């Protein structure tokens, strides 16, 4: 019988990456994770698997969080709870500006921002299935300043004052292409929240990581080389206004030492554009 209190990180890494791991019970896997505080492990994959993000959304779900927000004035979840305060520092309450929520999937977030900025133009993009749900709710509740975008070509029809990646960039298979299209049409700020970065000066751009805290469901994401990312933003005259650890989740990264991946941080970064 497998000793579920094993402390050997290397063994855990092998258990989750070898084929026989699929035959282990969910109970044993969860025990291994809990006892060693493991949330993420590296893989040998070069790209994210297809259909990596199972849809966990519905019209009823959206209506419930809207109802709850209207009653309590509290958000269901936000990867960067200080976002509204940050926007207040950057824009006047009566300002007209374009806000792009890349990967947005909860309309209470939209309501909270619109409550503070009456003249905001709110743009949102997600997977087609999520977009369809949000369009239905938007039409039912007559959210006139909410525009749903379906692809990069539709994104490029507009310019944006603030782009928010709420823990979404790392789940995009083509995140570099997305940035190459968005940065030229962003006039002021790009915020990347709750995203895993590592510091490495070699040619390693990113690694594909298996996420295990939603077992039995598995998700995959990128851990991104912050050096390469910063260089990409610099080409479009962006600089990091702040770069700090997101403390909403603490994980053990010891498994990554065997892949020689160091200085991993769960990070919030605000980039601002230099117009000089």
* Domain CATH for 129: 3.40.50.150
Do 138 and 9 share a structural domain?
no
- Tell me the pLDDT tens digit for each residue of 253-275: 887 877 778 789 999 999 999 87
Do 202 and 82 share a structural domain?
yes
- Tell me the pLDDT tens digit for each residue of 149-185: 999 999 999 999 999 999 999 999 999 999 999 999 9
Do 50 and 24 share a structural domain?
no
Do 52 and 30 share a structural domain?
no
253 three-class SS: coil
> Has residue 251 got a pLDDT over 70?
yes
Domain that holds residue 9: 1-36
Give me the number of domains the chain comprises.
Answer: 2
Do 198 and 260 share a structural domain?
yes
Do 267 and 132 share a structural domain?
yes
pLDDT at 53: 67
Do 150 and 177 share a structural domain?
yes
The CA-atom distances, in angstroms, between 141 and each of 42, 66, 76, 217 are 43, 10, 19, 33
Rounded distance between C-alpha atoms, residue 165 and residue 190, angstroms: 8
Do 74 and 30 share a structural domain?
no
pLDDT at 26: 52
Do residues 61 and 149 lie in contact, with contact meaning Cβ atoms separated by under 8 Å? no
Confidence of residue 211 (pLDDT cuts 50, 70, 90): confident
Confidence of residue 2 (pLDDT cuts 50, 70, 90): very low
pLDDT at 136: 96
Do 145 and 24 share a structural domain?
no
- Tell me the pLDDT tens digit for each residue of 30-84: 555 554 567 888 888 999 988 776 667 899 999 999 999 999 999 988 889 899 9
pLDDT at 19: 38
Confidence of residue 219 (pLDDT cuts 50, 70, 90): confident
The CA-atom distances, in angstroms, between 218 and each of 13, 39, 207, 263 are 15, 11, 16, 24
- Higher pLDDT among residues 118 and 257, named by residue: 118
DSSP conformation letters of 43-99: -S-SSPPTT-S-----HHHHHHHHHHHHHH---S--S-TTHHHHHHHHS-TT---EE
- Tell me the pLDDT tens digit for each residue of 3-30: 333 344 445 555 445 433 444 445 545 5
Do 137 and 113 share a structural domain?
yes
Do 79 and 14 share a structural domain?
no
pLDDT at 1: 31
> Please, what sign has the CA dihedral across residues 17, 18, 23, 25?
negative
Do 227 and 94 share a structural domain?
yes
């Amino acid at each position: 019988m497998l000793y579920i209190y094993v402390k050997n990180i290397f063994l855990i890494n092998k258990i989750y990456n070898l084929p026989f791991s699929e035959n282990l019970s969910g109970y044993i896997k969860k025990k291994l994770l809990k006892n060693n505080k493991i949330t993420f492990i590296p893989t040998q994959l070069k790209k994210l698997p297809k259909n990596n993000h199972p849809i966990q959304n519905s019209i009823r779900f959206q209506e419930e969080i809207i109802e709850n927000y209207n009653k309590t004035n509290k958000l269901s979840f936000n990867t960067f709870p200080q976002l509204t305060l940050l926007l207040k520092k950057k824009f006047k309450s009566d300002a007209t500006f374009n806000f792009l929520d890349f990967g947005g999937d909860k309309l209470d977030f939209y309501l909270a921002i619109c409550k503070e900025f009456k003249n905001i133009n709110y743009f949102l993009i997600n997977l087609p299935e999520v977009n369809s749900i949000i369009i239905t709710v938007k039409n039912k509740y007559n959210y006139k300043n909410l525009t749903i975008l379906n692809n990069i070509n539709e994104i490029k029809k507009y310019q944006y004052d603030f782009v928010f990646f709420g823990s979404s960039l790392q789940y995009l298979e083509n995140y570099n292409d997305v940035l190459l299209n968005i940065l030229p049409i962003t006039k002021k700020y790009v915020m990347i929240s709750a995203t895993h970065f590592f510091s490495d000066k070699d040619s390693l751009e990113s690694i594909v990581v298996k996420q295990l805290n939603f077992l039995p469901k598995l998700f995959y994401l990128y851990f991104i080389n912050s050096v390469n990312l910063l260089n990409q933003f610099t080409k479009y005259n962006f600089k990091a206004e702040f770069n700090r650890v997101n403390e909403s989740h603490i994980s053990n990264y010891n498994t990554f030492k065997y892949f020689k991946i160091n200085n991993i941080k769960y990070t919030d970064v605000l980039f601002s554009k230099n117009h000089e």
